[in-house]
Chains A and B, each alone.
Chain A
Amino acid sequence: MKKLALFAIIVLIFGTVSPSLVNHAYGQNDPSILLRIAVQADKQIINQFNKIYENEIPNNINILYDKGHRAVKSLDQSLSNNDIEKAKQDFLLAMNSFMQISRIISQSSEKSVEVNVSVKSNQTLESKIDRLEKFVQTLESISTKHKIDQNKDKFTKAYSLIKEIRNQINSNQNPSENTNELNNLINSIKKEIRNSIAEKQSNAIKNFFEKFLVQIDQKLMEAKNLGRDQIKIDKSNELILEIRELLSKNQINDAKKVYSELQVVLKDIGISVKIT
């Protein structure tokens, strides 16, 4: 028995400690990631210098770049020495220096940067379609979970429209008609989901209210015994009755509204609406 208990203790200690070990390891991560990010940023900055300044780099930017570049070298050295804390400091110093450079460049070159309107609007449209596609995928996941067959064709149509809109963007055609159609389709899908799960959802809310109101009943009894404001206790009981009646008639939204009113009265009495 003792051996079993000791064994259980060892297992429990290991079980308790091991998740923190894993988190610790995850937090420490692979420090070489830092070097790779810093080296890439360094190269990007040089690349920008070549594009913008050719050989005439302003002094303030040059100083910042030297600072950043030295920090990258130091980071490499720190990692070789396995000095992780120093490596972190070097990384932040390098990335901060490069960040300052990029902000100075963006301020000074703002006027000179040529903005290709077509590219910019395409980028925006593509992003909009990306977002809509993600939204459709989320709705599809909900629809599949609740086995809403009525939406199946709508999803097929939605994905087909998304594909078509992408083609139109790539060939510089106006996709607004298809985009509008897609938006309408998404609204129709949302409506279908709401209608299909309304009954299940109502039942879930009813069950929740049933449990919740029983608890509130008990708390009101306690409040009465403690001699709290009787008028407010009576008012609460009336509201509870009203909620129960509305729930029995399936008027969930009205029940929610009365519940909001009840919450205020309960707060006045000093009853927490959270079940403990």
Chain B
Amino acid sequence: MISLIEPIQLQDSLGDDGILFVRNNSIFDTMVKIPLLVASMIIVAALLPIQSSFSSPRDLDLIIYPDGSTHVSTKIDVDPFLTNYELNLFGSSIDNLVVVGNDEFLLESDIVENTIIIQTFGSSMIKIDYDIHDLVSKQGRFWTFSLDSPSDFTLLLPKNSAIIGMTNLPINMEIVNDQNQLTFSSGQTEIDYFFSTNTISNPIPDTENKIDYFLFAIISGIVVITAISIGIIIHKKQKNVKTVEPIQIIQKNQVANIETIFKLKPDLREDDKELVKFIFNNNGEALESELRKKFLQPRTTMWRAVKRLEREGIITIEKKDLQNLVKLRKNMEENE
């Protein structure tokens, strides 16, 4: 693959009537600047996690005790520039409340019915732990857990509990200390369970670790295949580039001329045109100090002139032995 855009000065289709024909091999390159695309994607990639995490529960974990009381533990990202954060609790019978902010600072809070107002004062994350007695009810020997959750949550059921009904699909299940731990998505969830010493009420065997490894293997496989593919593509490209390089150089040297540059930049200042001519006649490059000596210009004036030409896309500035080496660009219109 050769360069996708052929410089205009390399075109041999300039007709006698002065119409400029531009052969464009890739509309994508013309319309979309690659650096701009990269920058946009970096911004998008950076914003995605912020968008999804800000001011919403990061974690919500619940533990049901044998008497139906429930421990709630939640972490929430909050705006550090707010003084207070208001949160709806899952009920009003709250015990053992602890609210901590960044660096495990205890935060002051007031509970009004089901709402807690926390004085965050600069905390960007708050962790709330409390026990609640409103989430589980009991009828006969059957217990019912009921929650309308604002986010995904994990639920650790008591030991020896057996699930006999459920209104929502669990998205994960594992065994923690011989107890079933289920993960649910946000929304209304109801679970009926009861306690049994019967052997069949033993926790449901966990295969989640195997699944994790499987997922991990799939993702690793994709990464490896992608890396290998990229490597092969780059390698092939390098091979192709090597073979066409001499032709390209010959073409560029053959047609690069000062007239084309001035035609492309008709508004160029006269003194700048002189500079360009000098650089062109000096095999396309010159030290900034040489330009100063040649045109008898002060350092700052010459520096501004050189920067002006660089902005116009006519030259590039490189460092050589702590000096600025000014070079004429070979493919000017790529920046047009």
Contacts and interface: CB of A to CB of B under 8 A. Distances in A.
Contacts of A7: 230, 234
Contacts of A209: 121
Interface string A95-127: 110111111011101100100000000011011
6 contacts: A44-B201, A47-B198, A95-B165, A105-B142, A131-B71, A134-B131
A109 B81 CA distance: 56
Nearest to B65: A127
B166 interface: yes
Interface string B208-233: 10010001001100010010001000
Contacts of B166: 37, 41, 92, 95, 99
A270 to B, nearest CB: 18
Contact of B219 (A12, A18, A98, A134): A18
Interface string A26-42: 11011011101100110
B45 A12 contact: yes
Residue of A44, A103, A211, A259 with most partner-chain B CB within 10 A: A44
User: Interface residues of B: mostly helix, strand, loop or mixed?
Assistant: mixed
Interface of B: 34-35, 37-38, 41-42, 44-45, 48, 63, 65-69, 71, 79, 81-83, 95-96, 98, 100, 103-106, 119, 121-122, 129, 131, 139-142, 162-167, 169-173, 185, 190, 192, 194, 196, 198, 200-201, 204-205, 207-208, 211, 215, 218-219, 223, 226, 230, 234, 237
Nearest to A15: B45
Interface stretch (A173-181, A192-200, A228-236): A192-200
Interface footprint category on A: 35 or more
Nearest to A40: B204
Contacts of B234: 3, 7
B140 A107 contact: yes
Given A16-B41, A274-B82, A131 B171 contact: no
A130 B159 CA distance: 12
Given A33-B170, A44-B201, A98-B164, A274 B79 contact: yes
Given A9-B37, A96-B165, A128-B67, A197 B172 contact: no
B34 A9 contact: yes
Contacts of A43: 200
Interface of A: 2-3, 5-10, 12-16, 18-19, 21-22, 25-27, 29-30, 32-34, 36-37, 40-41, 43-45, 47-48, 88, 91-92, 95-96, 98-103, 105-107, 109-110, 113, 123-124, 126-128, 130-132, 134-135, 138-139, 141-142, 145-146, 193-194, 197, 200-201, 204-205, 207-209, 211-212, 256, 259, 263, 273-275
Nearest to A208: B122
A216 B163 CA distance: 55
B196 A138 contact: no
Contacts of B163: 37, 40-41, 44
A13 B171 contact: no
Contacts of A99: 164-167, 190, 192
